[in-house]
Structure 1
Amino acid sequence: MSTIAPSELRFPVGPPLSFAELERAAEGPLRLVVEPEVRQRVAGCHEFALRRMADGRPVYGATTGFGPLVTFPGRSEAADQCANVLAHLTAGQGPDLDPGVVRATMLVRLRSLCKGHSGVSLDVVDALTAALGTGFAPAVPRLGSLGASGDLVPLAYVARALSGEGRAYVDGRVMSAADALAECGLAPVALDGRDALALVNGTSLTAAAAALASASLARSRTVAVLLSAALIDVLGAAPDFLAPELLDAFGHPGTVQVGRELRRGLAGLTPSGTRPLQEPYSVRCTPQLIGAAGAALDHAREVVHHDLDSVSDNPLFFPDRDLVAHGGNFFGQPAAFAADQLTLVATQLGNLAERQLDLLIDPHRNGGLPPMLSPDPGRQHALQGVQIAATAVVATMRRAAHPASVQSLPTNLHNQDVIPFGTQAALNALDTARLLRLLHGSLGVALRQAAHLTPRTLTPGTAALVGRLAEVCAPVEQDRPLDEEIRRAADVLDRSARRA
């Protein structure tokens, strides 16, 4: 059984899930307490769904076939119908998703089911709750969801693993789902009624991935400010472009806020007096660029917050109105647009970081520091390999920046004749957010080296940041592998953003 002590989270149906709660679920066991009133709501909706399934009136996916086969009757036994929905959807391909992303997905799905409109049994709620309290994570292939009728294929793998079929991870180790459940002290859940369709027919993977990307990028926006301030300081640039009057005239609150943060980080700066009248855009336009990134992130985060609070099944059950409503809440267009916006933000912040790194290692523009920040150019190459790798990373981000949300392809016998590709958009956003962290780690290593080489006295803010980076990255006096130090620097910067 998993030995990691779970953190705790009360789980009423009130405020939406926070990004921090999703990150906690992704990182490890999370003890959830489903309040009695929530359990009562779920149980009442389940009983209503069973009555409607038994009274002869059609209920999609319970008494009918799935998708365009809705005109045909489904299987006569509810348990057999549940097995059928999972069997035909187990067709995913590609590498497994990060287990942490799957665990966050499970938490989003649980939250949606606890709203009491899905007709799911308490057995499913209890199975998800218990699994999240351990290190259990179903093995889910990355490719399969269109985000158009919920995340059908990936969530089918989640449902099967909870039933003891397929594969799963326990604290990062992959094994059969049955063995994983046993190791975690969990019992396989028996699906009946509408349980299987309720588990798969929602955009929970899309919402979880978009939320994890949003959380990461919010910190990366702060990291971009910290690194830009340190770069300005190391270069000895005059901060005239941060004048409050100038930025106020621009009229964008995000830019004004970034200017305020940069001025605070540069308190005590003494310009070198040797810099040109106007700095390159990678310095001079940082308030405008990072400010716009923050504004775009705010909009995307609001959309994703709504998605985390949504019920995206079909149909939905409203016992108090004797209503079974069939519709399209599973259509993940809002999150698709928002996730594409997140990818664009990550990529432009990556462009900024890569250009700032290039400026820092160029002896013609870096205020007299040696080329590649090498203490002995030619014999030692210092940041040369780091820049090459950073260029490869930013090129990868640019290739991924083409929007997924407009790539509609008809499928499913033209039942799904327009689709949003929200899952691809969200996973793409998460990928680019993680690549941005590596670019920031690369720039952090370079700034640590530049601070070591510069004769300038740095501001307290820069000195503190460099001091934290120095704990994981020594000066490059002789060439050595820097790959792991870049990743450690990225973690240091992420923690610095959390503090900020």
Structure 2
Amino acid sequence: MAVVVASRRDFTLDNYRRVSVHGEGVTLGEEARRAMAASRTGFERLLRSQPGTFVYGTTSRPGIEVGRTLTPDEQRSSTWSLHGERSPSFGTDALEERVVRGMVFARLANYVEGHANSRPEVADAIAGLLDDPLPRIPLQGEVGPGEVIPLSHLMAGLSIDLLPGERMALVNGSPCAAALGADIAIGAPGRQAAAEATFALSVEAFRAPLEAYDPALGDLWGDEGETAALSGLGSWLHDADADNRLGHQAPVSYRILPKVLGQSRRAIAELRRAAAVSLRSVSDNPVYFPPDDVHPHGRAISTGGFHNALVPPALDAVSAAWADLVLLAERHVTALHVGQTADHLPHLLARPGGAGGRTNLLGWVAGSYLEEARSAATMTHLPSGWADAQNDVANPTFAAYRKHREVARCVDAALALLAASSSQALWVTDRLPAPALRPLLDRVRSIVPPLDDPAGRAMGEELARLGAALAGLVRPPASADVDR
């Protein structure tokens, strides 16, 4: 199947998922083809009727040479085939293919209503990139005021002769930011669900009182995210044993779970909004407005639309919220080891004569991931444009995305450590969690079995597999859904 795009209304997160994750192609609808053809005709009339008008990259040189005006003959001779063109960025880490596919999809939003002043054939060629092996786009070195460097990678395999004005539409704008934001936005709910399920498993393992998760608190707090987190935790803990609990309140790290998980839900919701807006946004420079009653040939104006100011701070907010989840996971792993009162075993995760204190190493490892998450979860500021007088401010999106990937890796690791610790504590004390959590517990133990050996065993590879798989292991009850 193929996603049919007739207008910018079709650039949704659902369609992004179909193209990027499920590998579907993209076809231009007839409405889009008519709009592009009409706009291209209008743009060519504009150039003929106003030969002295400034159109960046068409009647002038791009970048630092913007002050140099091109004659009509130079404009025609500057038609360009992108075949063989290469970006100078490099690095050992590259974007996954699904993200590159998402960039191709997002690129077409500027075209479908005629704002790229390009022929339908150019948009067809861009959509056709999805049918062939896609280029490798490094994660490092992708700087600049817009996205010319990564888009030059993306368009390097495009072989089509371009008319005046069509070159800039290929490599200008911010489709990369839209795709990077959408990639995290569609994956974040799965990780959020895994976090809520794992923390609920920890609540059961620690025997924390359930009153801190009473849904009635939502009316008192009045925040949609916190209310949803209460509902999510409540779904996992439904029918939990209310009697076999601590006789006093649990540590702060257990009682504030709905608040911190609510913070994460709010951040994800804002990222999803930012990504949805960015996918359908026209972000080119110059941007072409099709003909209307006032401008019979349309108009082309210079803008800063290529600078995406929505996605980087939204990514930063999710990163910060998830770094806090890593802190809570580390605290829970520690709490499961040290216990709280005399009615706990001296070491909650070890049977007498069993694995002993070997599992305390899990807490050490959790502390390491906590520091890595905190180091990565820093605010991404606008980079300088260095020595270029025209391009004097750079784009922060790739930096925010790279940092978020690091935080996400730490979240996965911390949740794996907590899930394994919770499983061990329940096994040591011969208890089962609430019914909704039992399938998850079985899956956790299928990857990281409980320790029953005084010498312990090397668990690193098991924990790595659990961290990589955990989000896929969670099938939340309907009321725990986090907008997948």
Cα 1:274–1:10 change in 2 (3 A) is same
Could you tell me how far apart the structure 2 residues matched to 1:365 and 1:147 are?
A: 57
CA RMSD of aligned residues (A): 3.1
Q: Where does residue 487 of structure 1 map in the other structure?
A: 465
Could you tell me how far apart the structure 2 residues matched to 1:489 and 1:355 are?
A: 18
Q: Where does residue 178 of structure 1 map in the other structure?
A: none
What does residue range 38-437 of structure 1 map to in structure 2 within 5 Å?
Answer: 38-55=32-49, 56=51, 57-74=53-70, 76=74, 78=76, 80=78, 82=80, 90-95=87-92, 96-134=94-132, 136-146=133-143, 148=145, 150-160=146-156, 162-163=157-158, 188-271=159-242, 273=244, 275=246, 277-321=248-292, 322-363=298-339, 368=344, 371=347, 373-374=349-350, 383-384=359-360, 386-404=362-380, 406-411=381-386, 413-419=388-394, 421-437=396-412
User: In the alignment, is the contact (CA less than 8 A) between 2:110 and 2:281 conserved in 1?
Assistant: yes
Q: Where does residue 12 of structure 1 map in the other structure?
A: 6
Q: Where does residue 463 of structure 1 map in the other structure?
A: 438
User: In the alignment, is the contact (CA less than 8 A) between 1:372 and 1:381 conserved in 2?
Assistant: no
Q: CA deviation at 1:333?
A: 1.6
User: In the alignment, is the contact (CA less than 8 A) between 1:62 and 1:81 conserved in 2?
Assistant: no
Q: Which moved more, 1:204-213 or 1:71-80?
A: 71-80
Cα 1:379–1:291 change in 2 (3 A) is closer
Cα 1:42–1:270 change in 2 (3 A) is same
Could you tell me how far apart the structure 2 residues matched to 1:202 and 1:310 are?
A: 9
Give the TM-score normalised by structure 1: 0.83
SS of corresponding position for 2:91: strand
SS of corresponding position for 2:291: helix
Could you tell me how far apart the structure 2 residues matched to 1:366 and 1:422 are?
A: 51
Could you tell me how far apart the structure 1 residues matched to 2:20 and 2:307 are?
A: 25
Could you tell me how far apart the structure 2 residues matched to 1:202 and 1:139 are?
A: 20
Could you tell me how far apart the structure 2 residues matched to 1:22 and 1:498 are?
A: 23
Q: CA deviation at 1:446?
A: 2.8
Could you tell me how far apart the structure 2 residues matched to 1:207 and 1:366 are?
A: 54
User: In the alignment, is the contact (CA less than 8 A) between 1:229 and 1:266 conserved in 2?
Assistant: yes
User: In the alignment, is the contact (CA less than 8 A) between 1:473 and 1:485 conserved in 2?
Assistant: yes
Cα 1:450–1:34 change in 2 (3 A) is farther
> Any unmatched runs of 5+ in structure 2?
293-297
Larger RCO: Structure 1 or Structure 2 (Cα < 8 Å, ≥ 6 residues apart)? 2
Q: What do residues 203-260 of structure 1 show as CA deviations (whole Å, max 9, x unaligned)?
A: 1111211221222222222222211221111222211112344442222222222222
Q: Where does residue 295 of structure 2 map in the other structure?
A: none
Name the aligned partner's letter for residue 179 of structure 2.
A
Cα 1:24–1:369 change in 2 (3 A) is farther
> Any unmatched runs of 5+ in structure 1?
1-6, 164-187
User: In the alignment, is the contact (CA less than 8 A) between 2:185 and 2:272 conserved in 1?
Assistant: yes
Q: CA deviation at 1:467?
A: 2.2
Name the aligned partner's letter for residue 353 of structure 1.
A
Q: What do residues 290-324 of structure 1 show as CA deviations (whole Å, max 9, x unaligned)?
A: 11221232223212211111011011112223211
**Once the two structures are aligned, what percentage of the paired residues are identical?**
22
Cα 1:414–1:309 change in 2 (3 A) is same
Could you tell me how far apart the structure 2 residues matched to 1:219 and 1:484 are?
A: 21
Q: What do residues 374-418 of structure 1 show as CA deviations (whole Å, max 9, x unaligned)?
A: 5577967664554444333332221112211x3442435332344
SS of corresponding position for 2:239: coil
Give the TM-score normalised by structure 2: 0.85
Could you tell me how far apart the structure 1 residues matched to 2:345 and 2:114 are?
A: 63
User: In the alignment, is the contact (CA less than 8 A) between 2:225 and 2:266 conserved in 1?
Assistant: yes
